[in-house]
Structure 1
Amino acid sequence: MSRSRPTPAMAAILDRLAVEDVGLPDPTTVPAGQGRIQAASSNVRWNRDLPEMADVSDVSVSTKGAPVPCRKLVPQGSPVGTILFIHGGGWAFCDMDSHERAARLLAIECQANVVMCDYRLSPEHAFPAGLNDCIAVWGQLTAGEGAFAELKGPFAISGDSAGANLAMAVMLTPELVQPDFGLLFYGVYDADFASPSYLEWADGPGLTRGKMKRYWDWYAPEHQRADPRLAPVRASDAALRALPPLYLNAAEIDPLRSDSERLYARLTALGRADQFRLHGGVVHGFMQMSLELEEARLALADAGAAFKAFVQQAARSSNNWEREQ
C-alpha cells in the first residue's frame, strides 16, 4: 500500500514552515522552559486575526495551590451550552494564547460559550498536577460557582492532543459530574510507540515518535502509564460505557492516529454510537492552522455541527419528557 501524502495545501504549509523554522532545535531536546518559549513563538503565526467575540474575559479558579488562570469566550448570537476546551502541547508546552484562535472558532461553530485554562505543565509539574487543575476548573464550571456563575449547560469537554487526553481523564474520574458531550481532537490515548501510525510516521512530518516519547517521559514514568487517566484506551468496559456521547477526529499523517482509531474501535465494540472523522492528508495539530488550511476550518465546522445536533436532540428529548408528565 502506498504511503499517504500531504494534500497540496498541507504540503505548501509544511514547506513554508521548514523555511521559517530552519535552524531551530527540536523543542523537546532543550530545557523545557526554552522549548516552551520556542513553542509560544511558533504559535503566534496561527493566532493572528482572531475572530470577534461578544465577550472575552480572563478569570481564575481557586485551588489548594496556585489559582488556575482561565479565559471565557462568548460568541456573538445566542450561545447555548458551555465547553471546557483544554489545550494540547504534550502536557509541557502551549497555553491559552497558543490555542485561542482555534478555541474562538470552536465557540462560533458550536454556538456555545468556551472556557480555556492554563493548567500546570510538565516536567516541572508531572501527572496528575495538570489534570488536577483541569478537574478544579471543571468542578467550578459545572457547579456554576465564582466567575462561571452565568454559564449554563449543557456542559461539554473538549481538547486537542494532550488536551484530549486530559479531557478523557476528567471524564474517567468517577466522582466528577459527567459532561453531556465530548469533543476530542487527535488525542493521546495510549503510550504504545509500536502502533501502526507510530511506525508509519515515526519521523513526522511535524510530530514524531521521539517527541512523543520525551513528552511522556516528562509527564509520567512508565510504571504509571497503565492508569486509564493516562491511557484511556486501557479503561474498563464499564468506564467506557459510562462516558457521554463523543465526537472524535484524527489526522491521517500523525503518529497518534492509531490512538484515536483504537479508542473508537473499543467504543464501537461496546455498542456505543460515537462519531469519528479521519481527516486525510493533514498532520498532527492541523486544526491550529485555520488561517491558511481549509481542512482545519472544515474540522471545526464538523465538530460544531456534531455539538449543535446533540443540543437539538437533547432539547427535543426534554420537551417530549415534559409533555409526557
Structure 2
Amino acid sequence: MTLIKRASAAAIFAIILFTAPAMAQFPMPPHVPIWDANKTELTLQKISPDVYAIIPATAEVETAKGIPQATTGGFIVGEKGVMLIEVMLTKRLFDQEIKLIRSVTNKPIIYAVNTSDHGDHCFTDYLLPASTIIIQNEFAKDNLAKKYEYIKQFMVMLFGKDRGIEATTFRPADIVIPKNNNLKIDLGNGKVVEFINTGIAQSPADLFIWLASSKVFWAGNPFIAESPAIPWLFDGYFLEPVVNLKKIYDFLPDDAIVIPGHGRITTKAGIKYTLDYVEALKRNVEDALSKGLTLEQTKEAVKMSDFNKGYILFDWLHFNFNLPSAYKDIKASQETK
C-alpha cells in the first residue's frame, strides 16, 4: 500500500471528489470491497417495544475480530408510521431492510433518516415512497446535491463494481438539521426522537439519533464499531472530531444502548475505545510536533501499537488518514497561536 507523502486526508478526499483519474492515487485498503453488498445479510434485533436494530448477520461474531461490517440501522414504529434509520448502499440491501420492517408492521414509512452522506447510509433514498420525509444533516444534503456522482465513484472504488451502486440516483432530503442544532420529532406513545448535529465528529455530514424513552442511540460513522475498530477520519478533520466525540460520549447515560455505524450493538463503554484512540493520537502528535518532527517522521514515531489490536483496516486508516489529519490540524492550530 503506497502512502501519499505529505498529502492531508482533506486534500486526498477533495481530489477524489473532483477528478476521477486521481482516484488511482488514493491509498487503497488491504481488500476491496471492504465489505461485500452482494453477500451481506441483514438481521433484525428487537431492543424494546417498537424499537429495532438492523444489523449485519456477521456482526455479532466478526466485530470483535476486527473484520469490517456492513452498515447498521434500525427503525421505530410510531402511532402513525415508521421512522427508518439509515437506508442502505444498494437495492439488494434496501429490499432486505424493507422485508425486516414488514415482518413486524405494515405501517407506512413516514420518515427516513441518513446519518451521513456516505453512500452506504443514503444511496437508496430514491427507492422510498414519495411520501416518505427524508431527514439529513444540512451539509449532507448540500454535498450530495453537488457531488453525488463523485461520491458514487468513491463508493464503487471502495465497495466494488457490480454491487448495484452504479444504479443509484440522488434524492434530496426534505428536512435538514444545521450545524450545532437539534430537532425533535414525536412519534407518539412517548417516543420522541432527537436528531443531533453537533458539528464534525467524523465528517461535516454527521447526524446522531437519540431515543430517550428507550435509551437507544444510533451513532453512525463517528463511532463505527467497538474495539478493535478505530475511526475513519477520511475527510481531513481531527481537532473538531476530538471535541465532538467527547461531547457525544458525555451526553450519553451509562446504560445507553448504542448502535454503531458498522458493528454489533454495544454500550457507552463499548464506544470509549474510539475516544481513547483519538485522545491518545492527539497527545502523541503534539509530542512529535514539539520535537520538530515532520509528518513522515511522525508516522515512524507514532505507530500506536497499543491500539493496533487486530482491526484489519488499522494501518490503512491510521497512517493514511487519521495521523495525517491530526498532524495537519494540530500544526495549523499551533501556527495560529
TM-score normalized with structure 1 length = 0.31
Larger helix percent: 1
TM-score normalized with structure 2 length = 0.30
